[in-house]
Structure 1
Amino acid sequence: MSNAKTLTFKRILFSLSITHSAVTAGILLFILFIFITTNDLILGFPTGNTAFVYLVPLIAMIAYFGSNYYFQKKLAQIPKNNSLRKKVVHYQQTCMVRFAILDMATFFSAIVFMLRSNVFYLVISLLLLLYLIKLRPTKVRLIEDLALSKEDKLQLENEDRPL
C-alpha cells in the first residue's frame, strides 16, 4: 500500500482538525465581516412583528440539542467489536455532520444579524460558534467519545501505524 493511501490515526485526526478549523474560521470571518460592515447596531431584545425573534433561538436550540443527540445516537450504533479503523472512520463522519449542523445554525443567525442589525442575533451566533470551538477534535476527546477498550487505546499509542 502506498504511503499516500495509508490510513493512520494521526492522519484521520489531522483531517478532522483541518475540517473543524476551516468550518470554525470560515464562520468566524463571516461574522466579523458582517459586524464590521454593519451600521447602526441595535442593542436590546428585538421588537416588532418579526418571526426571527422566535426562529433564530429555536433553530439554535435545535442545532445544539439535535447535533448532540445525533452524535450520541450514531456513536452508540458503533458495534464494540468493530475494528479500531471502522470506529475512527465512523467517528470522523459523525463529527463532520455534527459540525455542519452547528455551522448552519450559526450561519443562519449571522445572516439574520446582517438583515436586522440587532446584537441579539449576533450573540446567538457567537454562542454557537463558541460551542463549535469547544468541540475541537483531540485524541483524548476521541478516546472518551468512543469509550475505547484498552486494546484500542494501545493501538492508538503508535499514531503513525496504519489502522
Structure 2
Amino acid sequence: MQKQTNTVLTPASFIRSNFIIFLGFLGGQIALMIISVIMVDEAYINYQDTAEIYFYAVPLAAVLCFFGGNFIYRQKLNSNTVSNTLRKKVANFQTAALLRYAFIEASALLGIVIFITTQNLYYLLIAMVMVLYFITLKPTKNLIEKDIHFSLEQRREFQKLNQPIE
C-alpha cells in the first residue's frame, strides 16, 4: 500500500523551494566553470581576435539572454491579474523565475563551453559576469513581494510564512 503525503504550500516552503532551485542552477554553473579551469592547460586572454566568430557571438548571446530573460520575466509577472489567487500568482512567479534563470544560465554555459574550446579567458570572463548577475537574482521574500503584484489581502497572507497558501 502506498503512503500518500499531501504537502502544504506555505510562503516559507515556497521561498525555500525557489531558493533550492536557484542553488541548483548556480551550482551547475560554478561547477562547470571550475571544471573548465582545471581542464584547460594553457589559457590566455585575447581581446583583439575580432576575426573569430565567437568574439561577437558570446557577448551578443549574453546581452540577448540578459534582456530576453528579464523581458519574459516581466511579461509573465505582468500577466497576473487582480483576480488571480495567491497560489496562481506564486506559481506564475516560479515559472517566470525559472525562465529567467534558464536564459542567464544558457549564456554563462555558452561562455564556458567556448572557453574550453578556444582556451581564451575572454569568454570565461563573460561567463563570470553572467554568474555574478545570476547571484543577484537570489529569490528572497522581499524580492518576491516586490515583483508579484499582490493585493493588500494577498500581501498579508504571504506575510504569514507558515500558513497554507490558498
Q: Does 1:18 align with 2:25?
A: no
Shift of 1:149: 2.6
Provide the secondary structure at the position in 1 that maps to 2:139.
coil
Q: Does 1:119 align with 2:121?
A: yes
Show the counterpart of 1:137.
139
In 1, Cα distance between equivalents of 2:5 and 2:160: 16
Shift of 1:7: 1.6
Provide the secondary structure at the position in 1 that maps to 2:138.
coil
Check 1:155–1:48 CA distance in 2 against 1; reply closer, same or farther (3 A cut): closer
Provide the secondary structure at the position in 2 that maps to 1:74.
helix
Contact 1:109 1:125 in 2 (8 A): yes
- Give the aligned CA root-mean-square deviation in angstroms: 1.4
Show the counterpart of 1:154.
156
Contact 2:115 2:123 in 1 (8 A): yes
Show the counterpart of 1:93.
95
Check 1:34–1:72 CA distance in 2 against 1; reply closer, same or farther (3 A cut): same
In 2, Cα distance between equivalents of 1:16 and 1:91: 10
In 2, Cα distance between equivalents of 1:46 and 1:105: 21
Show the counterpart of 1:27.
29
Task: Calculate percent identity across the aligned residue pairs.
Answer: 25
Runs of 4+ aligned structure 1 residues displaced above 6 Å come to none
Q: Which runs of 5+ in 2 are unaligned?
A: none
TM-score scaled by length of structure 1: 0.93
Provide the secondary structure at the position in 2 that maps to 1:5.
coil
Show the counterpart of 1:43.
45
Number of equivalenced pairs: 162
